[in-house]
Amino acid sequence: MSFALDLVIIGGCGHAGLPLGVAFAESGLSVRLLDVNSSAIESVNQGSPPFREPGIEASLRRCLTQGRLAATDDPGVIASAETVVVCLATAIDEHLNPDPNRFLSTIEGFGDRFVDGQLLVLRSTVFPGVTRLVEERIALTGKAVDVAFCPERIAEGNAMSELRELPEVIGARTPAASARADALFRHLTHETQHVSPEEAELAKLFSNSWRYLKFAIANQLFMIANDFGLDYERIRNAAGYKYPRASDLPSAGFAAGPCLFKDTMQLAAFNNNNFMLGHSGMLINEGLPVYLLTRLSQRFDLAKMTVGILGMAFKAESDDVRSSLSYKLKRILQVRAAEVLCTDPYVETDPDLAPLEDVLARAELLIIAAPHRVYADIVSTAPVVDIWNLRGDGVRV
């Protein structure tokens, strides 16, 4: 069977889908990005990525010019592609529960578009067992479609290099699906690891939970040191210097964003809500803004002060505000402080942000919430709270 296109990515204009689509198109494949976000589609087709991802823009423009890549809202493209990759979001709800049905029903909605001979790759971080459910639902349609789960493992901001550097985890139940997914990802990487879909689903959730817990232990150790009047960074440096068993202890800081928290909660839900460390880590990481403000309230009369928050993205050098703890900090400060001013050099989606100069001129206390490099050198007479130690002045609060 011959197909007009190599690849369609559902959710192709998102943070995972777009870098992947651009990387595959750069490798010579013909790719279509299927999405429902019309402004993102327009922006991609004009060669302008709808979010910040270093290194993507030149590649995107090259692929558009050479006709290997385009974004569309027409689901009709699905039937013309040999491989369909799903990069839809997999959020948790307000009760911290995953909603696999939403993901499944979106795929089912495309069910009559699939055709015999296709490979369907699930790339989203799914609730364990979802790959099997997709396989079963595809089988019910009677179509001969191979299914594989190949988790996206990039970190935002490093996508364009990591897509080519990271080994690919391939979770497939049949030799055919395994071989086809392998051949696909060999366009990007020379190393693949083959496991079952369930092992691949857990490999992804274990990785993100592990990372989230590393940040949690760092944040808890920071709080312990700080409560004893000691500087966590000095201790961390002493512990890790030429001592590999402690050198991977992270700095303190807001551990947030659209993946780590969500995936730790997905793993907890999968294990019947029995993931004590995961839930404890969540309480520590999500509690850090409250801890900071409790400590600051002991030193400052916040109710009479204008407080400036520097960095609203969930991490350094990013414009992504999804699940950013900067906004939790802001909401609490709006109750406790006289005034709150927020700024970020990258975030363009928040109309309430002020220019950095205004915040520096007016704030009586500054908190670095996202460690964008630009904040390392700010000059201010106001005290600067820097739990990341971006400025190298220590992290005591």
Ligand X SMILES: NC(=O)c1ccc[n+]([C@@H]2O[C@H](COP(=O)([O-])OP(=O)(O)OC[C@H]3O[C@@H](n4cnc5c(N)ncnc54)[C@H](O)[C@@H]3O)[C@@H](O)[C@H]2O)c1
- Residues belonging to the chain: 397
Q: Count the Cβ atoms, other than its own, within 10 Å of residue 270.
A: 17
Do the strands 146-149 and 168-172 form a parallel or antiparallel pair, or are they unpaired? antiparallel
The beta strands (E) that lie in the chain are given as: 5-10, 31-34, 69-72, 81-86, 119-122, 146-149, 168-172, 192-195, 306-310, 339-343, 365-368, 384-385
* Residue 272 structure tokens: 């019947």
Least distance in Å: CB of 122 to ligand X? 9
Residues 342, 362: contact at Cβ < 8 Å?
Answer: no
Specify the stretch interacting with ligand X by CB under 6 A; choose among 13-21, 272-280, 309-317, 388-396: 13-21
User: Out of 25, 78, 87, 160, which residue is the one contacting ligand X (CB under 6 A)?
Assistant: 87
Residues 316, 372: contact at Cβ < 8 Å?
Answer: yes
Q: Count the Cβ atoms, other than its own, within 10 Å of residue 396.
A: 17
Least distance in Å: CB of 212 to ligand X? 13
Distance between CA atoms of residues 172 and 169, nearest Å: 10
* Residue 7 structure tokens: 């690849």
* Nearest to ligand X of 192, 380 (CB atom): 192
User: Out of 31, 34, 78, 200, which residue is the one contacting ligand X (CB under 6 A)?
Assistant: 34
Least distance in Å: CB of 37 to ligand X? 4
- By rule CB under 6 A, what count of residues binds ligand X? 24
Q: Count the Cβ atoms, other than its own, within 10 Å of residue 85.
A: 30
Least distance in Å: CB of 208 to ligand X? 8
User: Out of 5, 7, 8, 16, which residue is the one contacting ligand X (CB under 6 A)?
Assistant: 16
User: Out of 5, 7, 8, 17, which residue is the one contacting ligand X (CB under 6 A)?
Assistant: 17
Q: Which residues between 101 and 120 bind ligand X (CB under 6 A)?
A: 106
* Nearest to ligand X of 118, 124 (CB atom): 124
Contacts of 102 (CB under 8 A, 6+ apart): none
CA-CA distances (angstroms) from residue 387 to 326, 382, 392? 13, 16, 10
Tell me: does residue 319 bind ligand X (CB under 6 A). Answer: no
User: Out of 22, 88, 188, 359, which residue is the one contacting ligand X (CB under 6 A)?
Assistant: 88
Least distance in Å: CB of 327 to ligand X? 17
User: Out of 124, 219, 220, 323, which residue is the one contacting ligand X (CB under 6 A)?
Assistant: 124
User: Out of 6, 8, 15, 32, which residue is the one contacting ligand X (CB under 6 A)?
Assistant: 15
Tell me: does residue 128 bind ligand X (CB under 6 A). Answer: no
Least distance in Å: CB of 33 to ligand X? 9
Specify the stretch interacting with ligand X by CB under 6 A; choose among 29-37, 222-230, 342-350, 381-389: 29-37
User: The dihedral of CA 362, 368, 371, 377: what is its sign?
Assistant: positive
Q: Which amino acid is at 239?
A: A
Least distance in Å: CB of 298 to ligand X? 37
3-state class (DSSP) for residue 39 = helix
Tell me: does residue 277 bind ligand X (CB under 6 A). Answer: no
Binding pattern for the stretch 224-263 against ligand X, x by CB under 6 A and - elsewhere: ----------------------------------xx----
Tell me: does residue 11 bind ligand X (CB under 6 A). Answer: yes
Distance between CA atoms of residues 319 and 344, nearest Å: 8
Residues of this chain that bind ligand X (CB under 6 A): 10-11, 13-17, 34-37, 40, 87-90, 106, 124-125, 152, 154, 156, 258-259
